[in-house]
Amino acid sequence: MKDFATLFTAVDQTTRTTRKVESLAEFFRTASDADKLWCVALFSGRRPKRVITTTVLREWAAERAGIPLWLFEESYPIVGDLAETIALVLPPAAAHEERPLSHWIARLRELSAGDDATRKAGILAAWDVLDRTERLLFTKLLTGGFRVGVSQKLMTRALARATGQDEAELTHKLMGAWTPETTSWEALIEAHDPSADLSRPYPFYLAYQLDDLAALGSAADWIAEWKWDGIRGQLVLRGGEHHLWSRGEELMTPRFPEFARLIDYLPDGTVIDGEVLAFADETPLPFNALQKRIGRKSVPRKLLEESPVVLMAYDLLEDGGTDIRARPFAERRARLAELIGTIPPEAPARLSPAVTADSWEALAVERETSRDRNAEGLMLKRADSPYLAGRRKGDWWKWKVDPLVIDAVMIYAQSGSGRRANLFTDFTFAVWDGDDLVPFTKAYSGLTDAEFRRITAWVRRNTLQKFGPVRQVRPEHVFEIAFEGIQESPRHKSGVALRFPRMSRWRHDKPIAEANTLADLREMLATYG
Ligand SMILES: Nc1ncnc2c1ncn2[C@@H]1O[C@H](COP(=O)(O)OP(=O)(O)OP(=O)(O)O)[C@@H](O)[C@H]1O
């Protein structure tokens, strides 16, 4: 795994995006197909299952290093990373065995099937023949944690460079339910038979916050819709099956079993983009109703009755098995209206209606009624635009009524006091600045008691380091932080201070790479500060 270790060191030691892309592209040009496939998998969040708990691993590492456990425990906070601590305390390897990355991952799988004694012997034997960086990587993979400062987007850019394929096309190929166990490099990247994974979604198109209405030109070139307060979903109907994807590339199908009925009404080869919305008596319900159904794997009957959902459909990406994303939005929408028009009202799909007004002023008046409809404002979409991949400025704008929210990553947690002393309730949040997470606010309130209990259990299992009462946690969860105002502040590292920040939503649907950036905060400061 020497070449993968070299790649890891190269991307770990630079913050420069161009260098990272070059190193990754070099790996993709030279490694074997099996190793390239695993590299893509690891950098797109598809990690092998955890083989062993970190507690047991610490004991074995201390034992192998010939040091008492307390000394290992003392070293860990100084190094800051468990796999790195282990790599440092172990005695130098007696021999070196050069095997590819895919070999060591296959070995992990064998070990996870064995009993404790087999695992221990296998892990110690591996540590004995790997050099320091290779051990670090092997150990990271053992504990199921492989986090490096390389986003999926960067990895895809490097892959595009190495293969000569189009980046957006590759983004699409890498989506879906594949794992290195279920596919090959040839099938995934080179041959790419679309029927190989019938569930594969298209990359979601994401919007920007509207900053300058005047720059949009004539209102006649735009289609406005309500910005629904639900969760984004892409419904894929192919091969007689249905799949519902979240924008975080998570399959939500079992959580929303009611959408199975749509197979009876919509033709095979239909892919719809829309909002999953709690909905009763032809009226959207507040987000709370939907919240109850998020974060559970399956849904009891009672909840299905209490919180019924619809797919508020707003775009058609595939029609009769043909990718129609390049067609103008107005045309895709007209076809979507035709399809939805054939569905009886008891089936859970509606067309997101256009909000019509003959000028921006008239539309602004309509927008003021958003809250009464349980909508968050308006979405403006250019009528002749194609459906693009990812967040691109120009064709989709969010025009919210309450724009002061930011999606941030939780990085520190502290327990509360009094009644809440046994719960973690005080959190520090960060936004991205390049590849770094920069803390910018604390928040204490806004979650339900059940959510506080859940996050508390998670914090206990995912503490990276303790600083007195404060725990640094694995950056894994995104929360929407709502606030009343934003000001410049030289006292804060981020340069901004928020008024009355609170957690307005746990964004289970967002991966951390999608959290907001320091640049977004600064833009808010310029507009609302
Ligand atoms: N009519 C609509 N058309 C498109 N997106 C809509 C619509 N109504 C609600 N949405 C939601 O708005 C989101 C678009 O905003 P954006 O792409 O920035 O995602 P986001 O960061 O999740 O937005 P937010 O945090 O504001 O909900 C979509 O992901 C979708 O869930």
Overall residue count recorded for the chain in this entry = 529
In angstroms, what is the span from residue 361 Cα to ligand 1's centroid?
23
In this structure, how many other beta carbons lie within 10 angstroms of the beta carbon of residue 157? 20
Nearest CA to ligand 1 atom 26: 398
Say what the ipTM of the complex is: 0.94
Mutate to test the pocket of ligand 1, among 379, 381, 503, 509 (most ligand atoms within 8 A of CB): 379
Mutate to test the pocket of ligand 1, among 206, 380, 392, 479 (most ligand atoms within 8 A of CB): 206
Atom of ligand 1 at shortest range from CA of 229: 9
Strands (E), 221-300: 222-228, 231-238, 241-245, 270-280, 283-284
Nearest CA to ligand 1 atom 25: 407
Atom of ligand 1 at shortest range from CA of 407: 25
- pLDDT given for residue 65 in this prediction: 94
- pLDDT given for residue 348 in this prediction: 96
Nearest CA to ligand 1 atom 5: 227
Query: CB under 8 Å to 320, separation ≥6 — which residues?
Result: 267, 269, 270
- pLDDT given for residue 295 in this prediction: 66
Nearest CA to ligand 1 atom 29: 232
In angstroms, what is the span from residue 81 Cα to ligand 1's centroid?
36
In angstroms, what is the span from residue 143 Cα to ligand 1's centroid?
35
Average pLDDT over every residue of 157-165: 95
- pLDDT given for residue 468 in this prediction: 86
Nearest CA to ligand 1 atom 6: 227
Determine which one of 20, 120, 227, 381 is catalytic.
227
Q: What angle do CA 160, 161, 167 make, to 5 degrees?
A: 25
Confidence of residue 216 (pLDDT cuts 50, 70, 90): very high
- pLDDT given for residue 323 in this prediction: 95
- The sign of the dihedral angle between the CA atoms of 447, 453, 455, 459 is positive
Lowest mean pLDDT among 145-154, 164-173, 336-345, 519-528: 145-154
- Indicate whether this model's pTM tops 0.95: no
Confidence of residue 209 (pLDDT cuts 50, 70, 90): confident
- pLDDT given for residue 148 in this prediction: 76
Atom of ligand 1 at shortest range from CA of 396: 4
In angstroms, what is the span from residue 390 Cα to ligand 1's centroid?
12
pLDDT tens for 114-157 read 899 999 999 999 999 999 999 999 999 988 777 777 888 899 99
Active site residue 227: yes
Q: Which residues pair with 471 in a beta bridge?
A: 413, 466
Query: Phi and psi at residue 397, in whole multiples of 5°?
Result: -125, 140
Q: What angle do CA 5, 32, 51 make, to 5 degrees?
A: 55
Convert 301-321 to b/e letters by CB count within 10 Å (16 or more is b).
eeeeeebbbbbbbbbbbbbee
Atom of ligand 1 at shortest range from CA of 510: 22
Nearest CA to ligand 1 atom 14: 207
The strand pair at 283-284 and 241-245 is best described as unpaired
How many CA atoms does the CB half-sphere of 188 hold within 13 Å?
A: 22
In angstroms, what is the span from residue 128 Cα to ligand 1's centroid?
50
Three-class DSSP labels, 186-241? HHHHHHCCHHHCCCCCCCCEECEECCCHHHHCCHHHEEEEEEECCEEEEEEEECCE
In angstroms, what is the span from residue 458 Cα to ligand 1's centroid?
27
Q: Which residues line ligand 1 (CB under 6 A)?
A: 206-207, 225-228, 232, 247, 275, 314, 352, 379, 398, 407
Nearest CA to ligand 1 atom 19: 206
Query: Phi and psi at residue 93, in whole multiples of 5°?
Result: -65, 140
Atom of ligand 1 at shortest range from CA of 400: 26
Query: Is domain 205-400 given the CATH code 3.10.20.30 in the classification?
Result: no
- Burial of 193 (C-beta count, 10 Å sphere; 0-12/13-18/19+): exposed
pLDDT tens for 54-97 read 889 999 999 999 999 999 988 887 877 788 899 999 999 889 98
Q: What angle do CA 391, 451, 467 make, to 5 degrees?
A: 85
Cα distances (angstroms) measured from residue 123 to each of 27, 75, 109: 26, 21, 12
What DSSP designation does 92 have?
P
Confidence of residue 192 (pLDDT cuts 50, 70, 90): low
In angstroms, what is the span from residue 279 Cα to ligand 1's centroid?
17
Question: For tokens 């172990």, what's the residue?
Answer: 90
pLDDT tens for 365-389 read 999 999 899 899 999 999 999 999 8
For the chain, domain boundaries = 2-143, 205-400, 404-528
Nearest CA to ligand 1 atom 27: 229
Among 150, 52, 87, 76, residue whose Cα is nearest residue 464: 76
Query: CB under 8 Å to 329, separation ≥6 — which residues?
Result: 223, 315, 381, 382, 383, 384, 385, 386, 387, 395
* Per-chain mean pLDDT for the chain: 91
Q: What angle do CA 254, 307, 349 make, to 5 degrees?
A: 70
In angstroms, what is the span from residue 182 Cα to ligand 1's centroid?
32
pLDDT tens for 264-282 read 999 999 999 999 999 999 9
Among 237, 371, 367, residue whose Cα is nearest residue 313: 237
Query: Phi and psi at residue 225, in whole multiples of 5°?
Result: -135, 165
Q: Which amino acid is at 361?
A: E
Mutate to test the pocket of ligand 1, among 204, 250, 275, 378 (most ligand atoms within 8 A of CB): 275
Nearest CA to ligand 1 atom 28: 232
Q: Which amino acid is at 190?
A: E
Decide whether 2-143 matches 205-400 in CATH topology: no
Tokens describing residue 469: 């009462």
Contact between residue 40 and residue 174 where contact means Cβ atoms under 8 Å apart: yes
pLDDT tens for 218-231 read 999 999 999 999 99
Largest distance between two CA atoms of the chain: 78
pLDDT tens for 415-426 read 988 777 889 999
Query: Is domain 404-528 given the CATH code 2.40.50.140 in the classification?
Result: yes
Confidence of residue 484 (pLDDT cuts 50, 70, 90): confident
Does 198 or 380 have the greater pLDDT score?
380
Fold that domain 2-143 belongs to in CATH? DNA ligase i, domain 1 (1.10.3260)
In angstroms, what is the span from residue 229 Cα to ligand 1's centroid?
8
pLDDT tens for 278-320 read 999 999 998 888 887 876 777 888 888 888 999 999 999 999 9
Contact between residue 308 and residue 278 where contact means Cβ atoms under 8 Å apart: yes
